[in-house]
Amino acid sequence: GNSVTQMEGPVTLSEEAFLTINCTYTATGYPSLFWYVQYPGEGLQLLLKATKADDKGSNKGFEATYRKETTSFHLEKGSVQVSDSAVYFCALSRSGGSYIPTFGRGTSLIVHP
Amino acid sequence: DAGITQSPRYKITETGRQVTLMCHQTWSHSYMFWYRQDLGHGLRLIYYSAAADITDKGEVPDGYVVSRSKTENFPLTLESATRSQTSVYFCASSEPAGGHNEQFFGPGTRLTVL
């Protein structure tokens, strides 16, 4: 079956540091890949997505590239801010067949001033 | 209001009582989902629905009941609440056009069972 593995947190960084949150997946076919962000006390919201191999999703300074050869979708940001403190979830969804997404367990990011 | 809403936002109940959590979406998305979020477990799917009158079990359905008589509403009922059902519950919707299936989440309901 499908699975998503992401690095355990919390990840603690100082403001303006470089961020990488690793995500790898297992899936049959050609899934779409997503990063969601959950700010404290809120629901998840889509941060970025990529629908095919080598696509790069980007939003709010965050980027992730769909790497089929390494089955990865690592999230990166060049300079984090305190306001980026949140929980980040990697997820996949297959095209066709089951539309039930598979989520990773989430990675908490804490950014200190 | 446009979007996806949940009510109540906070609920405290006692063991053995019946509780219903409401979810409403305004986009006419075909798919709707209920998740629970607990520390150490991430998001776990309770039930989902592919369309009105079509529902199916997720990963952790025991102790929960759902219905979907209208496309826009997807209530979740705890028939006899237990302390282990203390959690934050999220409703989500999606429209899998082209297989992309991004999900739109509600703000959550924090449920405490005493």
Consecutive 10-residue averages of pLDDT for chain B (114 residues): 90 98 95 93 93 94 97 97 98 80 94 98
Distance (Å) from the C-alpha of residue B47 to the closest C-alpha of chain A? 10
Band of pLDDT at residue A49, cut at 50, 70 and 90:
very high
Question: Taking 80 as the threshold, does the pLDDT of residue A22 lie above it?
Answer: yes
Which pLDDT does position B12 carry in this prediction?
Answer: 98
Q: From the CA of A94, how many Å to the nearest CA of chain B? A: 7
| Omega before residue A113 within 30° of 0, cis | no
pLDDT of amino acid A24: 97
Listing DSSP states for B36-65 in one string gives EEETTTEEEEEEEEEETTEEEE-S--TTEE
**In this model, does residue A66 exceed pLDDT 80?**
yes
> What pLDDT digit, counting tens, does each position of A90-101 carry?
999 876 566 789
Which residue type sits at A101? P
Instruction: Return the pLDDT at B40.
Output: 80
Which helix (H) or strand (E) element contains residue B13?
Answer: strand B10-13
Mean pLDDT of A67-71: 95
CB contact under 8 A, B101 and A99: yes
pLDDT at position A97: 60
Residues B42, A99: C-beta atoms closer than 8 Å? no
The verdict on a CB contact (< 8 Å) between B100 and A32 is yes
Q: What is the mean pLDDT of residues A17-30?
A: 93
Nearest to A44 among B41, B50, B105 (CB): B105
Classify each residue of A85-109 as buried b or exposed e, where b means 16 or more C-beta atoms within 10 Å of its C-beta: bbbbbbbbbbbeeebbbbbbbbbeb
